Structure 1
Amino acid sequence: MSGTVRYLYGVVPALPELSDDVADLRGVDDAPVRVVTGGEVAAVVSDVPSDDFDEAALAAHLEHLDWLEAVARAHHGVVDAVAARTAVLPLRLATIYRDDAGVRAMLTAGREEFAPRLARLAGHVEWGVKVFFVPPAADPPAGAVPGDGRAEGGAPPDPELSPGRAYLRTRRHERHARDSAYGTAMAAAERIHEAALSCAVEHTRHRVQQGPLAQGPFENIANDAYLVPADGSDAFRAAVEEAAAGTGVVHAEVTGPWAPYSFAAAEPADPAGTADGAGETGREATAG
């Protein structure tokens, strides 16, 4: 029978009642969740088979999206459940330590960074705002020649405007219209950001989604996260939606509230207790 290692979900304040609060939670591999305390901070952990989380096993698992999806769902489920009870610094997916002693050593080493960050996050949630550019439907310029050789409105084509020149003229018109709309969209995205920021205490800008991460037909031009007082969530959403209304060239997608993943800047600081191959902050496995 293989041994076990400690899978970490997040760092929390060391509250006496937290062990009872998490007793009913199940985490990765359906393992029971528990708390390991190190002074004034603690880690939410579960015991997972070492054979599944050593360096070689993780490298193999990273090739299987079904496994990653299951781990990510369990990980985020625990973090969200804990965040409903107390402030939490979510840790990276698949952050592994060999044993409880290693977890405690990490908590001790990072205490001066963890404690003030937890105090800062208490009573706050994360909201996400993605802004998408919605290109306008381009109208052909006056006198443009469609595919049947006739000008707009059915009039005979301009004899001095060849089909090739008409095509290029139409393309220039389309590019100009799109460039103008894009500038309007970027200005709208900045107004949305300012409105969101007026209701937030912190902000972080993520990379816009492209390629396989992009969803939907429109271009993502802003992908931001905001740390918002929990009792200010309604005002935050209303401010963003009002700023996005009526622009015609942007669509704003507001998501949340979430545990403050984007604002958990503190990471485990002591590699001494990490499992073989896990590295200083554990191994990050992402599902996209």
Structure 2
Amino acid sequence: MSTPLPGLDDTTATYVFAVCRRLEPAVLTALPGLSGNTPVRTLSFGTLTAVVQRVEAAHFTEEAWQERLSDQHELERCARAHHEVVSAAATCGPTVPLALATLYRGDERARHALDQDADRFHTALRRIEGRVEWGVKVYAPTAPRQPVAPEPAPTGRSQPSAGAGRAYLDRKRDVHQRREQRHDAALRTADTVDTALRALAAASRRLRTHAQELTDGRGLQVLNAAYLVAADRTDEVSRAVRSLRRLTGAHIEMSGPWVPYSFAGEV
């Protein structure tokens, strides 16, 4: 995510959603973008086109943006609006999405800064042309908790035997070993899924997995990955995921196709 302009005093700023080679302006006509008060439009630089919108600068100062980051609903609204514009542009051809809150002090500064980065944009556009991104997440089922029976409490003057103490430690060790074995098996499953899908992809990225409390009861997330795949291989990817579900028995989520957010920034 880009850092909003510090100390921005001008009334408006130029917000940049994406960069592409060609764009039919009509696909942007009905989009509210970030503000809804000004049109989403194009801004040419060299042989490339940026998708931009004029926004109120006061809404994107560092202080204002920090307030948005603390408001989950507002942040989600901005992200959805940004994605909607990027997706519309992508219907016309390969499109490089820019980070949320990429702003410049007016069109001329935006044009100059983007033109300075033109070589990277051309490289990224060549990389993603004709390709889409698929997201895949793999979850390991959560095993039922198996409490270790406590060591029997001594009665009267009797003391627990050494054998009882060893048995308690053995049970505790067995529970720990089974937990480790399940975790190792889950990681092997993640590698199996990743290896199979990488064989279909032009590029792949393993992303940070989500903490278990954020997975809505689906279990431990052991793989969160993105795959850059030729658009005409959609059926192959779907078949591969179905086959992997049968093979591994794991809960595998597949999402997409998306604009290649995870790969557009790579050169």
**Both proteins in one fold, TM over 0.5:** yes
1:231 alignment partner in structure 2: 232
CA distance in 2, matches of 1:139, 1:70: 43
2:66 alignment partner in structure 1: 59
Deviation at 1:160, TM superposition (A): 8.2
1:261 alignment partner in structure 2: 261
- Asked if the contact 2:212–2:220 (Cα under 8 Å) also holds between the matched residues in 1, the reply is no
Say which SS state the counterpart of residue 42 (structure 1) adopts. Answer: strand
Say which SS state the counterpart of residue 98 (structure 2) adopts. Answer: strand
1:12 alignment partner in structure 2: 20
Say which SS state the counterpart of residue 102 (structure 1) adopts. Answer: helix
CA distance in 1, matches of 2:214, 2:15: 27
CA distance in 1, matches of 2:68, 2:47: 35
Aligned equivalent of 1:3, options 11, 16, 25:
11
Is 1:21 the counterpart of 2:22? The answer is no
Deviation at 1:204, TM superposition (A): 1.1
CA distance in 1, matches of 2:144, 2:65: 48
Q: Give 5+ residue unaligned stretches, structure 1.
A: 150-158, 268-288
178-187 or 256-265: which moved more?
Answer: 178-187
Deviation at 1:235, TM superposition (A): 0.8
CA distance in 2, matches of 1:10, 1:75: 9
Deviation at 1:139, TM superposition (A): 8.1
1:49 alignment partner in structure 2: 56
The one-letter code sitting in structure 2 at the alignment partner of 1:9 is F
CA distance in 1, matches of 2:113, 2:25: 19
1:178 alignment partner in structure 2: 179
The one-letter code sitting in structure 2 at the alignment partner of 1:5 is A
- Asked if the contact 1:133–1:219 (Cα under 8 Å) also holds between the matched residues in 2, the reply is yes
TM-score, structure 2 as length reference:
0.83
2:217 alignment partner in structure 1: 216
CA distance in 2, matches of 1:265, 1:238: 29
Is 1:198 the counterpart of 2:199? The answer is yes
Pair 211,46 (structure 1): closer, same or farther in 2 beyond 3 Å: farther
The one-letter code sitting in structure 2 at the alignment partner of 1:201 is A
1:94 alignment partner in structure 2: 101
Say which SS state the counterpart of residue 47 (structure 1) adopts. Answer: strand
- Asked if the contact 1:114–1:266 (Cα under 8 Å) also holds between the matched residues in 2, the reply is no
Task: Show CA shifts across 1:39-94 (max 9, x none).
Answer: 11111111111111123322333222222121111111111222222211111111
Q: Give 5+ residue unaligned stretches, structure 2.
A: 1-9, 153-160
Deviation at 1:103, TM superposition (A): 1.7
- Asked if the contact 1:89–1:266 (Cα under 8 Å) also holds between the matched residues in 2, the reply is no
Deviation at 1:125, TM superposition (A): 0.9
Deviation at 1:20, TM superposition (A): 2.6
167-176 or 44-53: which moved more?
Answer: 167-176
CA distance in 2, matches of 1:47, 1:178: 55
Number of residue pairs the alignment of both structures matches: 249
Deviation at 1:259, TM superposition (A): 0.9
The one-letter code sitting in structure 1 at the alignment partner of 2:206 is R
Task: Show CA shifts across 1:121-151 (max 9, x none).
Answer: 11111111111222445889xxxx968x8xx
